[in-house]
Chain A
Amino acid sequence: MSFVVSFAEFTFLVGGVVFMLALCLAALATLRLAIRGGAVTSLMGISCFTTVAGTALYLLEVLFHIHFARDTAIALLMIGAIGTIVFARILRRGGGE
Protein backbone atom coordinates (compact mmCIF):
# COMPACT_ATOMS: atom_id res chain seq x y z
CA MET A 1 0.00 0.00 0.00
CA SER A 2 1.41 3.35 -0.97
CA PHE A 3 2.12 6.22 1.35
CA VAL A 4 -0.74 8.40 0.09
CA VAL A 5 -3.33 5.69 0.70
CA SER A 6 -1.99 5.17 4.24
CA PHE A 7 -2.05 8.91 4.81
CA ALA A 8 -5.66 9.18 3.58
CA GLU A 9 -6.88 6.35 5.80
CA PHE A 10 -5.00 7.63 8.85
CA THR A 11 -6.29 11.18 8.34
CA PHE A 12 -9.84 9.88 7.91
CA LEU A 13 -9.57 7.98 11.19
CA VAL A 14 -8.11 10.97 13.06
CA GLY A 15 -10.73 13.30 11.58
CA GLY A 16 -13.53 10.99 12.68
CA VAL A 17 -12.16 10.77 16.21
CA VAL A 18 -11.76 14.57 16.40
CA PHE A 19 -15.34 15.01 15.22
CA MET A 20 -16.54 12.53 17.84
CA LEU A 21 -14.69 14.48 20.55
CA ALA A 22 -16.38 17.66 19.34
CA LEU A 23 -19.70 15.84 19.55
CA CYS A 24 -18.90 14.90 23.17
CA LEU A 25 -18.46 18.60 23.97
CA ALA A 26 -21.77 19.35 22.24
CA ALA A 27 -23.40 16.57 24.28
CA LEU A 28 -22.22 18.23 27.49
CA ALA A 29 -23.65 21.59 26.35
CA THR A 30 -27.02 20.09 25.46
CA LEU A 31 -27.18 18.12 28.71
CA ARG A 32 -26.56 21.35 30.62
CA LEU A 33 -29.37 22.93 28.63
CA ALA A 34 -31.68 20.02 29.45
CA ILE A 35 -30.90 20.08 33.16
CA ARG A 36 -31.11 23.81 33.79
CA GLY A 37 -33.93 24.90 31.50
CA GLY A 38 -37.72 24.77 31.64
CA ALA A 39 -39.88 22.15 29.92
CA VAL A 40 -39.50 23.32 26.32
CA THR A 41 -35.84 24.20 26.78
CA SER A 42 -35.19 20.75 28.25
CA LEU A 43 -36.98 19.18 25.31
CA MET A 44 -34.77 21.15 22.95
CA GLY A 45 -31.65 20.03 24.81
CA ILE A 46 -32.68 16.39 24.77
CA SER A 47 -33.59 16.60 21.07
CA CYS A 48 -30.14 17.94 20.24
CA PHE A 49 -28.55 15.34 22.50
CA THR A 50 -30.23 12.52 20.58
CA THR A 51 -28.84 14.00 17.35
CA VAL A 52 -25.34 14.24 18.75
CA ALA A 53 -25.42 10.78 20.32
CA GLY A 54 -26.90 9.20 17.19
CA THR A 55 -24.26 10.74 14.95
CA ALA A 56 -21.46 9.69 17.30
CA LEU A 57 -22.79 6.12 17.46
CA TYR A 58 -23.09 5.92 13.68
CA LEU A 59 -19.51 7.14 13.33
CA LEU A 60 -18.48 4.49 15.85
CA GLU A 61 -19.82 1.89 13.44
CA VAL A 62 -18.19 3.50 10.41
CA LEU A 63 -14.75 3.98 11.97
CA PHE A 64 -14.42 0.96 14.25
CA HIS A 65 -16.94 -1.49 12.71
CA ILE A 66 -19.05 -1.91 15.86
CA HIS A 67 -22.22 -3.03 14.15
CA PHE A 68 -24.76 -2.83 16.96
CA ALA A 69 -24.07 0.91 17.29
CA ARG A 70 -25.69 1.52 13.90
CA ASP A 71 -29.09 0.18 14.98
CA THR A 72 -29.00 2.26 18.15
CA ALA A 73 -28.02 5.33 16.15
CA ILE A 74 -30.85 4.91 13.64
CA ALA A 75 -33.37 4.44 16.46
CA LEU A 76 -32.07 7.51 18.28
CA LEU A 77 -32.14 9.72 15.19
CA MET A 78 -35.60 8.69 13.99
CA ILE A 79 -37.44 8.40 17.29
CA GLY A 80 -35.69 11.47 18.70
CA ALA A 81 -36.87 13.74 15.91
CA ILE A 82 -40.42 12.37 15.79
CA GLY A 83 -40.73 12.30 19.59
CA THR A 84 -39.61 15.90 19.87
CA ILE A 85 -42.35 17.02 17.49
CA VAL A 86 -44.99 15.00 19.39
CA PHE A 87 -43.94 16.28 22.81
CA ALA A 88 -43.75 19.85 21.54
CA ARG A 89 -47.36 19.58 20.39
CA ILE A 90 -48.35 18.19 23.80
CA LEU A 91 -46.51 20.98 25.61
CA ARG A 92 -48.17 23.58 23.43
CA ARG A 93 -51.62 22.32 24.40
CA GLY A 94 -50.84 21.81 28.06
CA GLY A 95 -48.77 24.93 28.76
CA GLY A 96 -45.58 23.22 29.85
CA GLU A 97 -43.14 25.89 30.98
Chain B
Amino acid sequence: MTDLYLPILTTIFATVIVCFTLYSVKRGIPTPSPTKTAIAVIGLSIIGGVAFYATGAADLWGTVKAVTHLVAAAIFFAAAVLVICASIGLFRFGDEYGINIFYVRNHTTGVIDDVCALTMIFVGLLIGRLDLAAVGFFFFAFIPFVGNALANAYYYTVNKKRGVE
Protein backbone atom coordinates (compact mmCIF):
# COMPACT_ATOMS: atom_id res chain seq x y z
CA MET B 1 0.00 0.00 0.00
CA THR B 2 2.82 2.38 0.85
CA ASP B 3 4.33 1.81 -2.58
CA LEU B 4 1.36 3.63 -4.07
CA TYR B 5 2.28 6.81 -2.23
CA LEU B 6 5.89 6.86 -3.41
CA PRO B 7 5.27 8.33 -6.91
CA ILE B 8 2.77 10.84 -5.53
CA LEU B 9 5.12 12.09 -2.84
CA THR B 10 8.01 12.18 -5.30
CA THR B 11 5.94 14.23 -7.73
CA ILE B 12 5.00 16.71 -4.98
CA PHE B 13 8.65 16.95 -3.87
CA ALA B 14 9.82 17.51 -7.46
CA THR B 15 7.11 20.08 -8.13
CA VAL B 16 8.11 22.14 -5.09
CA ILE B 17 11.79 22.13 -6.08
CA VAL B 18 11.07 22.89 -9.75
CA CYS B 19 8.70 25.76 -8.90
CA PHE B 20 11.23 27.23 -6.47
CA THR B 21 13.99 27.05 -9.08
CA LEU B 22 11.80 28.43 -11.86
CA TYR B 23 10.78 31.34 -9.63
CA SER B 24 14.45 32.14 -9.07
CA VAL B 25 15.17 31.87 -12.81
CA LYS B 26 12.24 34.16 -13.61
CA ARG B 27 13.44 36.79 -11.16
CA GLY B 28 17.00 36.52 -12.44
CA ILE B 29 18.52 36.13 -8.97
CA PRO B 30 18.48 33.23 -6.51
CA THR B 31 15.51 33.74 -4.18
CA PRO B 32 16.41 33.72 -1.33
CA SER B 33 20.16 34.19 -1.60
CA PRO B 34 22.35 31.06 -1.91
CA THR B 35 23.71 31.55 1.61
CA LYS B 36 20.24 31.65 3.16
CA THR B 37 19.15 28.70 1.02
CA ALA B 38 22.15 26.64 2.13
CA ILE B 39 21.51 27.47 5.81
CA ALA B 40 17.82 26.62 5.43
CA VAL B 41 18.58 23.30 3.68
CA ILE B 42 21.14 22.29 6.33
CA GLY B 43 18.81 23.29 9.15
CA LEU B 44 15.83 21.46 7.68
CA SER B 45 17.99 18.38 7.03
CA ILE B 46 19.17 18.29 10.66
CA ILE B 47 15.68 18.86 12.07
CA GLY B 48 14.12 16.29 9.74
CA GLY B 49 16.86 13.77 10.40
CA VAL B 50 16.57 14.11 14.18
CA ALA B 51 12.77 13.84 14.00
CA PHE B 52 13.00 10.78 11.77
CA TYR B 53 15.61 9.17 14.02
CA ALA B 54 13.47 9.86 17.07
CA THR B 55 10.63 7.79 15.63
CA GLY B 56 12.92 4.77 15.68
CA ALA B 57 11.97 3.71 12.17
CA ALA B 58 15.61 3.47 11.09
CA ASP B 59 19.06 3.38 12.64
CA LEU B 60 21.48 6.31 12.52
CA TRP B 61 23.11 5.29 9.23
CA GLY B 62 19.72 4.79 7.58
CA THR B 63 18.61 8.23 8.73
CA VAL B 64 21.75 9.92 7.39
CA LYS B 65 21.40 8.06 4.11
CA ALA B 66 17.75 9.05 3.70
CA VAL B 67 18.41 12.74 4.39
CA THR B 68 21.45 12.98 2.12
CA HIS B 69 19.66 11.18 -0.71
CA LEU B 70 16.70 13.54 -0.43
CA VAL B 71 18.96 16.60 -0.60
CA ALA B 72 20.83 15.07 -3.55
CA ALA B 73 17.51 14.46 -5.31
CA ALA B 74 16.58 18.11 -4.75
CA ILE B 75 19.89 19.13 -6.33
CA PHE B 76 19.13 16.89 -9.31
CA PHE B 77 15.71 18.47 -9.87
CA ALA B 78 17.02 22.03 -9.53
CA ALA B 79 19.95 21.28 -11.87
CA ALA B 80 17.58 19.77 -14.44
CA VAL B 81 15.57 23.01 -14.51
CA LEU B 82 18.71 25.12 -15.00
CA VAL B 83 20.04 22.84 -17.76
CA ILE B 84 16.69 22.91 -19.59
CA CYS B 85 16.55 26.73 -19.39
CA ALA B 86 20.11 26.98 -20.75
CA SER B 87 19.27 24.55 -23.57
CA ILE B 88 16.25 26.62 -24.57
CA GLY B 89 18.55 29.63 -24.64
CA LEU B 90 20.98 27.80 -26.93
CA PHE B 91 18.12 26.89 -29.26
CA ARG B 92 16.73 30.43 -29.36
CA PHE B 93 19.85 32.57 -29.84
CA GLY B 94 20.47 32.11 -33.56
CA ASP B 95 22.85 33.81 -35.98
CA GLU B 96 20.33 36.59 -36.71
CA TYR B 97 21.53 38.42 -33.59
CA GLY B 98 24.91 39.27 -35.15
CA ILE B 99 28.42 37.92 -34.77
CA ASN B 100 28.71 38.86 -31.10
CA ILE B 101 26.02 36.30 -30.23
CA PHE B 102 28.97 33.93 -29.82
CA TYR B 103 29.70 35.43 -26.41
CA VAL B 104 26.12 34.86 -25.30
CA ARG B 105 26.36 31.24 -26.40
CA ASN B 106 29.72 30.93 -24.66
CA HIS B 107 28.13 32.15 -21.44
CA THR B 108 25.18 29.78 -21.86
CA THR B 109 27.39 26.74 -22.40
CA GLY B 110 29.37 27.89 -19.38
CA VAL B 111 26.15 27.74 -17.36
CA ILE B 112 25.60 24.14 -18.45
CA ASP B 113 29.24 23.28 -17.60
CA ASP B 114 28.95 24.91 -14.18
CA VAL B 115 25.69 23.19 -13.35
CA CYS B 116 27.11 19.80 -14.34
CA ALA B 117 30.30 20.31 -12.33
CA LEU B 118 28.54 21.62 -9.22
CA THR B 119 25.99 18.82 -9.37
CA MET B 120 28.78 16.25 -9.52
CA ILE B 121 30.57 17.89 -6.57
CA PHE B 122 27.59 18.21 -4.24
CA VAL B 123 25.91 14.93 -5.13
CA GLY B 124 29.24 13.13 -4.80
CA LEU B 125 29.80 14.64 -1.35
CA LEU B 126 26.25 13.90 -0.22
CA ILE B 127 26.09 10.26 -1.28
CA GLY B 128 29.66 9.55 -0.19
CA ARG B 129 31.15 9.12 -3.66
CA LEU B 130 34.36 11.09 -3.36
CA ASP B 131 35.55 10.05 -6.83
CA LEU B 132 32.54 11.79 -8.35
CA ALA B 133 33.22 14.91 -6.28
CA ALA B 134 36.92 14.88 -7.24
CA VAL B 135 36.19 14.63 -10.96
CA GLY B 136 33.61 17.39 -10.64
CA PHE B 137 36.03 19.62 -8.77
CA PHE B 138 38.81 19.03 -11.33
CA PHE B 139 36.40 19.87 -14.11
CA PHE B 140 35.06 22.89 -12.25
CA ALA B 141 38.61 24.26 -12.07
CA PHE B 142 39.02 23.88 -15.84
CA ILE B 143 35.79 25.60 -16.95
CA PRO B 144 37.05 29.23 -16.82
CA PHE B 145 40.12 28.35 -18.89
CA VAL B 146 37.97 26.66 -21.53
CA GLY B 147 35.59 29.61 -21.81
CA ASN B 148 38.44 32.08 -21.94
CA ALA B 149 40.31 30.11 -24.60
CA LEU B 150 37.18 29.91 -26.78
CA ALA B 151 36.38 33.62 -26.44
CA ASN B 152 40.01 34.49 -27.13
CA ALA B 153 40.06 32.35 -30.26
CA TYR B 154 36.83 33.89 -31.52
CA TYR B 155 38.03 37.41 -30.85
CA TYR B 156 41.27 36.97 -32.79
CA THR B 157 39.74 35.01 -35.67
CA VAL B 158 36.48 36.88 -36.27
CA ASN B 159 36.14 40.15 -34.38
CA LYS B 160 39.60 41.49 -35.05
CA LYS B 161 39.54 40.54 -38.73
CA ARG B 162 36.24 42.35 -39.26
CA GLY B 163 37.29 45.31 -37.16
CA VAL B 164 34.57 44.75 -34.56
CA GLU B 165 35.71 45.47 -31.03
| A contact set with B: CB distance below 8 Å | 1-12, 14-16, 18-19, 21-23, 25-26, 28-30, 32-33, 36, 38-41, 43-45, 47-48, 51-52, 54-55, 58, 62, 70, 73-74, 77-78, 81-82, 84-85, 88-89, 91-92, 95-97
- Per-position 1/0 for B82-126, Cβ under 8 A of A: 011011101100010000001001100100110011011001000
CB distance from A52 to the nearest CB of B (A): 7
Q: Looking at chain B's contact residues, is the secondary structure mostly helix, strand, loop, or mixed? A: helix
* A30 engages B90 (CB within 8 Å): yes
Alpha-carbon gap, A4 to B9, bound state (A): 11
Q: How far is the CA of A8 from the CA of B45 in the complex (A)?
A: 13
With both beta carbons as reference points, the residue of chain B lying nearest to A47 in the complex is identified as: B146
Instruction: State the CA gap A5–B77 with chains docked (Å).
Output: 19
Chain B interface, number of residues (Cβ within 8 angstroms): 66
Residue ID in chain A nearest B83 by CB atoms:
A22
The yes or no answer to B36 lying at the interface (CB within 8 A) is no
In the complex, B43 has a CB within 8 A of chain A: no
A23 to B157, CA, bound (A): 30
Closest 6 CB pairs of A and B: A15-B76, A15-B73, A88-B149, A2-B57, A22-B80, A29-B90
Kindly report which residue of chain A lies nearest to residue B123, judged by CB atoms. A62
Within 8 A of A (CB), among B119-165: 119-120, 123, 127, 129, 131-132, 135, 138-139, 142-143, 145-146, 149-150, 152-154, 156-158, 161
Flag whether B35 is at the interface (Cβ < 8 A).
no
Q: Apart from A32-B91, A54-B139, what 17 extra A-B contacts exist at CB < 8 Å?
A: A1-B62, A3-B2, A10-B10, A12-B127, A14-B14, A18-B76, A18-B77, A19-B77, A22-B80, A29-B86, A32-B90, A38-B158, A70-B131, A82-B142, A95-B161, A96-B153, A97-B158
Q: Is A5 in contact with B66, judged by CB distance below 8 angstroms?
A: yes
- Cβ–Cβ < 8 Å partners of B69 in chain A: 8-9, 11-12
